[in-house]
Amino acid sequence: MPPESWGPAGAGAARHGPRYLVLGPLELRLGGRPCTPTALKSRALLALLLLRANQQSSADALIEDLWNGRPPRSASAALQMYVSGLRRVLDPGHSRDGRDARHHPLLPTVGAGYLLRVGPGELDLDEFREQAALGRSRLAAGDCRAADHAFRRALALSRGTPLGDLTHADLPGFYGDRLADEQLAVVQDRIGADICQGRAREVTGELRELCARYPLREAFHEQLMLALAATGRQTEALEVYAEARRVVVAAGGIEPGAALRAAQQAVLRVRPPLNAGHEHCRPAPNGVQERFPSR
């Protein structure tokens, strides 16, 4: 993603401080120049510190995650080596001046671990979450147009699979999965804002693709049913429910959730909820905004 597409906060950070990107392949830019570590474990360590930015990460927790629960005997020494390397990348002058590495301005030692200091506008994930939260507040207030703009700004920060270059780093899989889930929740919210604005016909193709790609994500099936019903295609909407129910029952042996069943009943009554205001445009319930827990 070129610097000019980062927006005001990102562009300022590019000029005056680090810029960290995790919503795609991991990237570190200093003064606008790419400075991403090349060693896989070093990049993995940077990613872990960024996902707990401005929080202390214990050395034990970092070792556990860097080697996915199977650390070698040399893990403690290796971690210290990776931290030293990151410190040199983040502030080369600090080590040359002979200052205590434990008091590094960006990556100090804190207790029995480390903390990566990340300022406003320096991490794309922070910007993504801020825009997502703004969109959800606008959506809850019924301002679907403003919500749509905020969701699109958030999604524009995506550069592909979050931390997609670290698939071979042996990190616990839930890190990338959770970031991807946050992105999907915002996609869901953006589609809800589109339907609120009367663009149901325009989103049906996208929703069909999303239902095929994520067959167990019931919210996309619900939205597709509502979009079809809004354009007078009740029969197709009921077919969507029947297929979604078949997939859900086959996968888990349970019936679809309450929201999807309610959408089916609304279609059967030929009175889809979108004719009753904006209540169907609620923000995605799984739109997680808190950071990864410090360990």
Query: Which residue segment(s) compose the domain that 204 sits in?
Result: 146-281
Q: What is the pLDDT of residue 102?
A: 83
- b/e burial code for range 73-101 (CB count within 10 A of at least 16 → b): eebeebbeebbebbbbbbbeebeeeeeeb
| Dist CA 210 CA 204 (whole Å) | 10
Tell me: do 52 and 173 sit in the same domain: no
The answer to whether residue 119 is domain-embedded is: no
Tell me: do 161 and 242 sit in the same domain: yes
Q: What is the pLDDT of residue 4?
A: 31
Q: What is the pLDDT of residue 289?
A: 40
Residue of 39, 17, 27 lying closest to 84 (CA atoms): 39
CATH number of the domain encompassing residue 50: 1.10.10.10
The answer to whether residue 124 is domain-embedded is: no
CA dihedral of 26, 23, 114, 286, whole degrees rounded to 10: -150
Tell me: do 110 and 156 sit in the same domain: no
Tell me: do 42 and 94 sit in the same domain: yes
Q: What is the pLDDT of residue 14?
A: 44
DSSP annotation of 278:
S
Residue of 188, 184, 181, 209 lying closest to 139 (CA atoms): 188
DSSP annotation of 217:
-
Q: Is the dihedral of CA 281, 285, 290, 291 positive or negative?
A: negative
Structure confidence by residue, pLDDT tens digits, 7-36: 434 444 445 679 999 999 999 999 889 999
The answer to whether residue 100 is domain-embedded is: yes
| Dist CA 295 CA 175 (whole Å) | 14
pLDDT-flagged residues of the chain (< 70): 1-16, 94-99, 271-295
Residue that is last in its domain, among 114, 135, 154: 114
Tokens in use for 29?
């830019």
Q: What is the pLDDT of residue 96?
A: 60
Alpha helices, H only, 32-123: 40-51, 59-66, 75-90, 92-96
Q: What is the pLDDT of residue 9?
A: 42
Helices (H) and strands (E) in the chain, counts: 12, 6
Q: Scanning the structure block, which residue is given the tokens 């990151």?
A: 86
For residue 158, list its beta bridge partners: none
CA dihedral of 193, 150, 21, 103, whole degrees rounded to 10: -130
Tell me: do 19 and 95 sit in the same domain: yes
Tell me: do 77 and 199 sit in the same domain: no
The answer to whether residue 290 is domain-embedded is: no
Q: What is the pLDDT of residue 285?
A: 52
| Dist CA 258 CA 196 (whole Å) | 21
Q: What is the pTM of this model?
A: 0.83
The answer to whether residue 293 is domain-embedded is: no
The answer to whether residue 291 is domain-embedded is: no
For the chain, the domain total comes to 2
| Dist CA 186 CA 192 (whole Å) | 10
The answer to whether residue 84 is domain-embedded is: yes
DSSP annotation of 30:
E
Residue that is last in its domain, among 99, 114, 129: 114
Q: What is the pLDDT of residue 195?
A: 94
Q: What is the pLDDT of residue 28?
A: 97
The answer to whether residue 295 is domain-embedded is: no
CATH number of the domain encompassing residue 247: 1.25.40.10
Tokens in use for 242?
């029947």
Burial of 7 from C-beta contacts in 10 A (0-12 / 13-18 / 19+): middle
Residue that is last in its domain, among 95, 114, 133: 114
Structure confidence by residue, pLDDT tens digits, 92-137: 776 666 667 788 999 999 999 999 999 999 999 999 999 999 999 9
Q: What is the pLDDT of residue 41?
A: 94
Tokens in use for 214?
């994520």
